[in-house]
Structure 1
Amino acid sequence: MRPETFHAIVRGDRSGPLAAAARLGLWAASGPYRLGVWWRNRGYDRGRRPVVRAGVPVVSVGNLTLGGTGKTPCVEYVAGFYRDIGLQAAILSRGYGAAAGPNDEALVLEENLPDVPHLQDADRAAAALRAVEELESEVLVLDDGFQHRRLHRDLDVVLIDATLPPHRDRMFPRGTLREPEANLKRAAVVLLTRCDQAPDADATRTRLTTRFPHLTVATSEHRPIELLGGDVPEPVESLRGKVVAGFAGIGSPPAFRRTLESLGATVADFRAYPDHHPYTRADVDDLRAWAARLPPDALVATTQKDWVKLRLPELAGRPLRAVRVGLAVRDGRDAFEAALARVVTGERPE
């Protein structure tokens, strides 16, 4: 099943007997999946599964869902925080789709944080030891690590998309939850993302702090910083009033479309690709043919995560620009950064 088809079915965007039958089958399959998640976590909770300690503080940035919460800007934020207070940080990730070299997330982080090493290895425990022994790292940021319990962590930061909080989602494969909301008991910090796109973000925050009093809950949004792809970075305000065609191969393509619209662009057309989509020559030819049908003064926009795999200045004579976004913590920033600082100072809240 194609990712876009899966999401359309589980969200209820598709109706009819076939879609209903598919949802019933996915619901039935979610039972064994939930049981497997419970059994695996129980093994770690009871000490039956071994845990590797890196010897330096480890901060995990993860989520409850299959993706689309905007982890990469948060990983950049956390790693940049430690770099800015004078620590040698390193980022560890599984490296999905990185068999032929650094994947899209690694390329984005390398571009935005060139002075922070990024190790991609399916065995992240081994990568952690290598970062400490060979790179003399003083703190490790574990990308997508909430479910990677084999590596001990000193702080779990969990991202939740405020437009689809876990209480409105379902367990995979009937929904996108990797594990139930109750497992937030393992986390210390929850960062609600895309709060600018969720009118009920404050209600979700209140619900989480009520159900999990131990959590630090902060709100955030992914804020466009600049446009890449030209000779020099351009202000995002230059999109206002422009006719734009967008495409994205990220966890939540609709979120990128909303970003373009929020910048005042008129989105004439939009294409969504699966997350981590590897653009082929055929894809580029197809995008050029698509762009050629746009008005001559139109601009094509994509995400930085897609652009680092293309590195093209234009498509069919239409400028191609990438929107670079950064994490902006709206409410709870001091508490969030205090939690990050405690990991490396050893201080504990009173």
Structure 2
Amino acid sequence: MPNRWFRHKADEFEQFAIDVIMGRREGTLAALFGAFLQLCSYLFSGIVQLRLWLYRNRILRDQPLGCLVVVVGNLTVGGTGKTPVVEMFAKALRDRGRKVAILSRGYKSKAPPLWQKWWFWLNHTAEPPPRIVSDGAKVLLDSEVAGDEPFMLARNLPGVVVLVDKNRVKAGAFAIKEFGCDTLVLDDGFQYLPLKGRLNLLLVDKTNPFGNGFLLPRGILREPVKHLQRASYVFLTKSKGVRDEELEAMIAKFNPTAEIIECAHKPQYLQRIDTGERLPLTALAGRRVGALSGIAAPESFEAFLRETGAKLVYTRRFLDHYRFTHEDLGDVFSEAEEAGVEIMVTTEKDAVRIEAGEKFPMPCYYLRLEIEILRGAADFQEAVGKICFPRGEPAIASNPPV
């Protein structure tokens, strides 16, 4: 009980901080906390700028690995819909004959025990190898150890290696040596400078491109907006098909040569968590539906459900990457029953954090999303061809030396 109380209080404080950053809180306490965060963001900005300057002037050096490196990332924290883009890119590259490895830091994954780190340090032995989420043939780790996104990617991408390690230079070298990979996709790698990408794909959420314009922790920016200049291509995500000329002008101001590809996250189907049964989206029309989420931008998810014609009578939002307990789910489904919910729907990313074997008092599905290109290419295959295989480059590359 004490642990649950402390966890609840920590979550309350984190939600308060997020509300201040997003401008949802008013009052003296919110204003004082916002001022404190703004001072911290100036310090953070200085550190970010110094780090980039050190790499730009070759005082700190990146380490090339001799193969195609595709970086997929963003300037902000959370909510750009990056995972489906990574998945589609890896799938398209795999289908064109590439041996692909996805390298992830495994955000919110279960870290190795402290004693293990000390053991390697005391014995002056090499660091442990990266965690192998998938060897391309089967998934080897669960979502708690691997992290939500790496596990989801591994499950959806047979034939693609998925590795987790904070040191992605080490992970990339491991992928080349142990699995013969010739293409590395850095998941959330725009700020990872030790391994330089040949292609930097920057995702910008059209519904909230740069937040309030401040860097962390006062805003959602990881680095200044002017660093759009480092992108090879800019993907405008979560588009409704209407051009935002002001946003495109800002991108062109800082990066006049970057090509813009506009895309939407399109719901595909519903998949039942306990049985794997699939339903078309039309199954929600007119039904009393509940929405359960622990993601950075739940508004988009809930909007998708309303667009199907569902009657959204209950919503429950947790913090991003929140790992649901049995007690949490008991509370959620109890409240949902009281609200008259017929079908509970969650996101695919949240579904991997629900323990296998969990019993539900009502059908519980996750919503499967995929990327659809709206502008900049005829479809995703053409986009990949244009970006990764320019000027008729052959689909299958020889393995680089290690």
What does residue 87 of structure 1 align with? 98
1:93 is matched by which residue type in structure 2? S
Change (3 A) 1:121 1:10: same
Q: Secondary structure at the match of 1:47?
A: coil
* Alpha-carbon distance between aligned partners in 2 of 1:346 and 1:60, rounded to the nearest angstrom: 20
What does residue 393 of structure 2 align with? 345
Task: Describe the superposition over 1:172-205 as per-residue Cα deviations: whole angstroms up to 9, x where unpaired.
Answer: 1111000011111111111111112x86634422
Match of 2:268 among 222, 225, 229: 225
Change (3 A) 1:83 1:242: same
Whether the 8 Å CA contact 1:300–1:319 is kept in 2: the answer is yes
* Alpha-carbon distance between aligned partners in 2 of 1:202 and 1:214, rounded to the nearest angstrom: 16
Q: Structure 1 unaligned runs (5+)?
A: none
Match of 1:236 among 266, 269, 281: 281
2:164 is equivalent to residue 120 of structure 1? yes
Q: Secondary structure at the match of 2:279?
A: coil
1:36 is matched by which residue type in structure 2? I
Match of 2:294 among 243, 249, 269: 249
**TM-score, scaled to structure 2:** 0.80
What does residue 329 of structure 2 align with? 284
1:67-78 correspondence to structure 2 within 5 Å: 67-78=78-89
* Alpha-carbon distance between aligned partners in 1 of 2:233 and 2:29, rounded to the nearest angstrom: 40
**How far apart are 1:340 and its partner, in Å?**
2.5
Match of 1:272 among 313, 317, 324: 317
* Alpha-carbon distance between aligned partners in 1 of 2:334 and 2:261, rounded to the nearest angstrom: 43
What does residue 239 of structure 2 align with? 195
Q: Secondary structure at the match of 1:310?
A: coil
Change (3 A) 1:299 1:177: same
2:68 is equivalent to residue 57 of structure 1? yes
2:351 is equivalent to residue 307 of structure 1? yes
Task: Describe the superposition over 1:50-87 as per-residue Cα deviations: whole angstroms up to 9, x where unpaired.
Answer: 21212211000000011111110010011012012111
1:135-150 correspondence to structure 2 within 5 Å: 135-150=179-194
Q: Please identify, of 323-332 and 6-15, the stretch whose mean Cα deviation from structure 2 is larger.
A: 6-15
Match of 2:338 among 277, 282, 293: 293
**How far apart are 1:206 and its partner, in Å?**
3.8
Match of 2:25 among 14, 34, 37: 14
Whether the 8 Å CA contact 2:211–2:220 is kept in 1: the answer is no
Q: Please identify, of 175-184 and 94-103, the stretch whose mean Cα deviation from structure 2 is larger.
A: 94-103
2:61 is matched by which residue type in structure 1? P
What does residue 332 of structure 1 align with? 376
What does residue 252 of structure 2 align with? 209
Whether the 8 Å CA contact 1:251–1:275 is kept in 2: the answer is yes
Whether the 8 Å CA contact 2:211–2:219 is kept in 1: the answer is no
Aligned length: 345
Q: Secondary structure at the match of 1:333?
A: coil
2:195 is equivalent to residue 151 of structure 1? yes
* Alpha-carbon distance between aligned partners in 1 of 2:14 and 2:265, rounded to the nearest angstrom: 23
Whether the 8 Å CA contact 1:26–1:173 is kept in 2: the answer is yes
Q: Secondary structure at the match of 1:166?
A: coil
* Alpha-carbon distance between aligned partners in 2 of 1:343 and 1:253, rounded to the nearest angstrom: 40
Task: Describe the superposition over 1:287-321 as per-residue Cα deviations: whole angstroms up to 9, x where unpaired.
Answer: 232233231x6110000111122166886521100
**TM-score, scaled to structure 1:** 0.92
Change (3 A) 1:206 1:315: farther
Whether the 8 Å CA contact 1:287–1:315 is kept in 2: the answer is no
* Alpha-carbon distance between aligned partners in 2 of 1:313 and 1:167, rounded to the nearest angstrom: 39
Q: Structure 2 unaligned runs (5+)?
A: 1-9, 111-143, 396-402
Write out the 4+ residue segments of structure 1 that deviate beyond 4 Å after TM superposition: 311-316
1:15 is matched by which residue type in structure 2? E
* Alpha-carbon distance between aligned partners in 2 of 1:221 and 1:251, rounded to the nearest angstrom: 17
1:227 is matched by which residue type in structure 2? L
**How far apart are 1:144 and its partner, in Å?**
0.4
**How far apart are 1:107 and its partner, in Å?**
2.1
* Alpha-carbon distance between aligned partners in 2 of 1:73 and 1:201, rounded to the nearest angstrom: 22
- Indicate the RMSD between aligned Cα atoms, in angstroms: 2.3
Whether the 8 Å CA contact 2:295–2:319 is kept in 1: the answer is yes
Larger Rg computed on CA atoms:
2
* Alpha-carbon distance between aligned partners in 2 of 1:248 and 1:202, rounded to the nearest angstrom: 32
Percent of residue pairs bearing the same amino acid type: 32
Whether the 8 Å CA contact 1:57–1:344 is kept in 2: the answer is no
1:255 is matched by which residue type in structure 2? S
Task: Describe the superposition over 1:307-342 as per-residue Cα deviations: whole angstroms up to 9, x where unpaired.
Answer: 122166886521100001111121112574312223
